[in-house]
Structure 1
Amino acid sequence: MDVMPKWADALLIPLISILIAFVLSAGVIVAIGEDPMVALNTMVQGALGSSYGWGYTLYYTTNFIFTGLAVAVAFHARMFNIGGEGQAILGGLGVALVCLYVPWPHWILALPFAIIGGALFGAAWAAVPAYLQAKRGSHIVITTIMFNFIAAALLTYVLVELLRPAGAMDPASAGFPEGTHLPTFQDMAGLFGITAFRGAPANVTFLVALLACVLVWLLIWRTRLGYEIRAYGHSEPAAVYAGISPVKIIMVAMLISGALAGMMAINNVMGEAERLVLNSVEGAGFIGIAVALMGRSHPLGVLLAALLFGFLYQGGAELSLWTNIPRELIVVIQALVILFTGALDNMVRMPLERFFLMFRKKRPAEPATAPKPDRKSTTAAE
């Protein structure tokens, strides 16, 4: 029997970890001579106080949903995919090729193929580390980290030597045709006569990210493949005994993980920049690790954790703009959140387990029953 109820493990532990991280962050703000309440109010107002702030918060949230889901799927197969950054970079290349070289008449037609392009390129970039893990025993953490650097170098070469328009100076592709431009939240609100989200980059990709959460939940908890992934993640020897192929699970889980990371490019490449640029991922692949850890590798938890980090990103930008608090402090807050939800999880979990153990009702002892007499011995005695 579990010591803690499931709701406490899923909600209470991350919440307490976040509160501890914010308290320590407030101490850092006080140490540099600033008011933590002013800082908090600035972040809340900047990220959630207007439709413009919400637009940026949800834009960042969309990125983190995709990368968080990517890490979560690999987690279920007991693999630590650190390559979400590189897989998202290559996913951007796939999206760019689809948008640049096919004359799409409307975004509704372009979007499904851009999703396929980003997913295929992201999955292809995850396939090599997956193969090395499955067939050669190479550690997935090492290979995926190295592939991040290779992806960044490859993108630089492609942009500078192949996709950069003639006469252009910046390493970026040409702008995507108008038929590939995704509707923003501002455009969608305008259909109902509402003026909101003006200038914010949040777009229809957020709805795709929500759909991805539902599909990942169905995959992991409602399909045979998802059961095999979870079984392998819990115990490889037991999975092998049950006839589950480790090579199959490693390859399939990493391909799905890479595809999800690559799909992030729909938001930042096709939806926001409308062209392929260097550093378009901006560390979202690494933030996805923290999102998956905090969300307990569950799509709903990933969604909520992605929203928190979206708030931190947008709130941090407002904090550096309107106060003397440096933008790097948000990196400190993120690091503290990651530290307490990941590395120091037991520091919160163990006291809570003892707390719930104190209040658990003890089962009443079963009354002792007298042994039934042996019929044969009774007959013999008579």
Structure 2
Amino acid sequence: MSTVAATTAAGSAPGVGSGGADGPPPPEHTAETSLARTLQRIARSDLLVVVMSFVFAFLIGSVLIVIANEQVRQSLTYFFARPGDTLTAIWEAVTGAYGALLRGALFDNRAFTRTAESVREAGGSGMYVLLPALGAGLRPLTETLTVATPLIIAAAGMAVSFRAGLFNIGGTGQLIAGTMAAAFVGFALPLPTGVHLLAALIAGVVAGGVWGGIAGFLKARFGANEVISTIMLNWIATYLLFFSLKTELFTGASSGQPTSFAVRETALLPKLLGDGFRLHAGLLVVAIAVALLWWLMSRSTLGFHFRAVGSNPRAAQVAGISPTRTAFLVLAVAGALVGLAGAVHVLGTERRLTEGIAGNIGFDAITVALLGRSGPIGIVLAGLLFAGLSTGGRLMETSQGVPLDLVQVIQVLVVLFIAAPPLVRTLIGLRRVDNPQAGGRGRRRRGDEPAAATNAAGGSVAITSDETDDTTADDDTAREHGPSHRADPPGDPDPADPCSPSDPVDPQQEEGR
């Protein structure tokens, strides 16, 4: 039986009657410091999840590198005799592989040194040494930018559909449609230099928009699932490309060779660093596409309709926005941007059609858009990262013998971790960010200090731990089973209440029930 001790001043309650002293002041609540709030924001932010996803992905990649390394496996045979050799082999395998990855993606210091030494031996000095050495060292960065150019533009198109609540899987088909249209205009129409390039780019945009609009029309008119329709359109575009490269319209007399005519010089994107590098003016198109994505989704009425339908189609329809019309426009705009990526790819890098011209750009764009949270800055950073992994992986394979497939494994692991933020926060010890009630049970146990409650008269009532446990148990039971399981005080039966017992209940009969 719990005991309640009422503590009052002699004669009258504190603060009531003749000048009694006020009770003790309430405990002061310490304000949350700015540092704590900053740490909470960091713990809940997407940036922490992205960074730690890469850390975990590269850690798992390190394990795979160690397993695939021949020297590490040999040193494990005599590990207990000389454990230092195994640790050294592991360190050299991991650092060598990731060092080659960085050199192949950003700056090749070894190529810089070799070029500088060779120019000095030939009698060069000053800027005649520095410029060629910088060109050799920065060549990996230019390759990364070249690979990232169509990837970022295509990811911008994917971001439009994702933010509108549509999962567009048709990047490959829309990219192929854009490349075919742009290449055909590029090699078939004799136009002036500036006009020819602009016409080829517009042709790619229109073809990609039409190809995406087909899926949008099927969804708006017949309710077809956009995932299935876009996947099927990918295969249609792929086999249409194969068929086109076997016709005289695209290949001329050599129809047996699966390549098209070369794009005319008047329709090519100019190179930014000369003929020694592949970097072209498509990099400027990237800036335009990213700015267009920001303006469309953040400042335009059409983008507001896209986001409204993506957030709540029912509410958008009530507000006068047609979800079916919006679905068609979303996929058409997304396809237009992806078609622009295909046009930039064929007019700037490939310069002719081949059967494998699309590569993995269409599917990688989906990953880049998801990784970048469908935002302009995030897409740019994610696109540069994926392009760096692709270009750096080649040097890692040739110089260190690490399979290029490891890069694909790292990319998949990054996406896997980013798709599960609670998993990442759990691994770094921030589980309570996603589950604030974790560890909250049992915060009141026997032996805790009695909680003080204030009575109606202003006095304090000390509640012992037994009563605290009973009250807490009653509250937990009420929350679990509903208010009907809370014990009610005894009283007279209510004749107006049909559920009120009219006769007293025998305890033995009740127990028998």
Q: TM-score, normalised by structure 2?
A: 0.64
Matches within 5 A, 1:209-358: 209-342=286-419, 344-348=420-424, 352=430, 354-355=432-433
Report the equivalent of 1:31. 67
Matches within 5 A, 1:125-144: 125-144=211-230
CA shift for structure 1 position 111 = 2.7
Instruction: Tell me how far apart the structure 2 counterparts of residues 232 and 122 of structure 1 sit (CA, whole Å).
Output: 23
* 1:96 has 2:183 as partner: yes
CA shift for structure 1 position 93 = 0.7
Report the equivalent of 1:117. 203
CA shift for structure 1 position 172 = 1.2
Code of the residue aligned with 1:159 in structure 2: it is: L
Instruction: Tell me how far apart the structure 1 counterparts of residues 317 and 422 of structure 2 sit (CA, whole Å).
Output: 30
Which sits farther off after the overlay, 112-121 or 231-240? 112-121
CA shift for structure 1 position 355 = 4.5
Q: Which residue of the other structure, out of 12, 37, 41, is the alignment partner of 2:99?
A: 41
Assess if the C-alpha contact under 8 Å between 2:160 and 2:374 holds in 1: yes
Assess if the C-alpha contact under 8 Å between 1:94 and 1:121 holds in 2: yes
Instruction: Tell me how far apart the structure 1 counterparts of residues 42 and 245 of structure 2 sit (CA, whole Å).
Output: 48
Code of the residue aligned with 2:99 in structure 1: it is: N
The structure that has the greater radius of gyration is 2
Which sits farther off after the overlay, 268-277 or 177-186? 177-186
Instruction: Tell me how far apart the structure 2 counterparts of residues 295 and 142 of structure 1 sit (CA, whole Å).
Output: 24
Q: Which residue of the other structure, out of 235, 248, 264, is the alignment partner of 1:177?
A: 264
Assess if the C-alpha contact under 8 Å between 1:4 and 1:356 holds in 2: no
CA shift for structure 1 position 94 = 1.0
SS of the aligned residue for 1:185 comes to coil
Instruction: Tell me how far apart the structure 2 counterparts of residues 69 and 149 of structure 1 sit (CA, whole Å).
Output: 22
Instruction: Tell me how far apart the structure 1 counterparts of residues 390 and 238 of structure 2 sit (CA, whole Å).
Output: 23
CA shift for structure 1 position 354 = 3.0
Instruction: Tell me how far apart the structure 2 counterparts of residues 115 and 4 of structure 1 sit (CA, whole Å).
Output: 47
Assess if the C-alpha contact under 8 Å between 1:46 and 1:314 holds in 2: yes
Instruction: Write the deviation string for residues 145-180 of structure 1: whole angstroms up to 9, x where unpaired.
Output: 111111100011111113112136421111111212
CA shift for structure 1 position 345 = 3.4
Report the equivalent of 1:380. none
Instruction: Tell me how far apart the structure 2 counterparts of residues 7 and 112 of structure 1 sit (CA, whole Å).
Output: 47
Instruction: Tell me how far apart the structure 1 counterparts of residues 354 and 220 of structure 2 sit (CA, whole Å).
Output: 33
Distance 1:97 1:290, change over 3 A: same
Report the equivalent of 1:363. none
- Where does structure 1 lack aligned partners over 5 or more consecutive residues? 188-197, 359-382
Instruction: Tell me how far apart the structure 2 counterparts of residues 254 and 208 of structure 1 sit (CA, whole Å).
Output: 21
Assess if the C-alpha contact under 8 Å between 2:205 and 2:343 holds in 1: no
Instruction: Tell me how far apart the structure 1 counterparts of residues 383 and 235 of structure 2 sit (CA, whole Å).
Output: 24
Instruction: Tell me how far apart the structure 2 counterparts of residues 113 and 102 of structure 1 sit (CA, whole Å).
Output: 10
* 1:149 has 2:235 as partner: yes
Assess if the C-alpha contact under 8 Å between 2:200 and 2:267 holds in 1: no
Assess if the C-alpha contact under 8 Å between 2:245 and 2:255 holds in 1: no
SS of the aligned residue for 2:45 comes to helix
CA root-mean-square deviation: 2.3
* 1:160 has 2:246 as partner: yes
SS of the aligned residue for 1:63 comes to helix
CA shift for structure 1 position 31 = 1.3
Number of residue pairs matched by the alignment: 346
Assess if the C-alpha contact under 8 Å between 1:205 and 1:266 holds in 2: no
Assess if the C-alpha contact under 8 Å between 2:197 and 2:266 holds in 1: no
Assess if the C-alpha contact under 8 Å between 1:4 and 1:353 holds in 2: no
SS of the aligned residue for 2:352 comes to coil
Distance 1:4 1:155, change over 3 A: farther
Assess if the C-alpha contact under 8 Å between 1:69 and 1:302 holds in 2: yes
Assess if the C-alpha contact under 8 Å between 1:68 and 1:302 holds in 2: yes
Distance 1:103 1:335, change over 3 A: same
Instruction: Tell me how far apart the structure 1 counterparts of residues 431 and 338 of structure 2 sit (CA, whole Å).
Output: 35
SS of the aligned residue for 1:264 comes to helix
Using CA pairs under 8 Å that are at least 6 residues apart, name the structure with larger relative contact order, 1 or 2. Answer: 1
Distance 1:290 1:136, change over 3 A: same
CA shift for structure 1 position 356 = 9.0
CA shift for structure 1 position 4 = 6.4
Code of the residue aligned with 2:97 in structure 1: it is: A
Report the equivalent of 1:61. 148
Instruction: Tell me how far apart the structure 2 counterparts of residues 230 and 8 of structure 1 sit (CA, whole Å).
Output: 23
SS of the aligned residue for 1:282 comes to coil
Assess if the C-alpha contact under 8 Å between 1:229 and 1:249 holds in 2: yes
Assess if the C-alpha contact under 8 Å between 1:52 and 1:199 holds in 2: no
Instruction: Write the deviation string for residues 290-320 of structure 1: whole angstroms up to 9, x where unpaired.
Output: 1011100001110000000010110111112
- Where does structure 2 lack aligned partners over 5 or more consecutive residues? 1-38, 71-92, 108-136, 437-513
Code of the residue aligned with 1:261 in structure 2: it is: V
Which sits farther off after the overlay, 84-93 or 161-170? 161-170
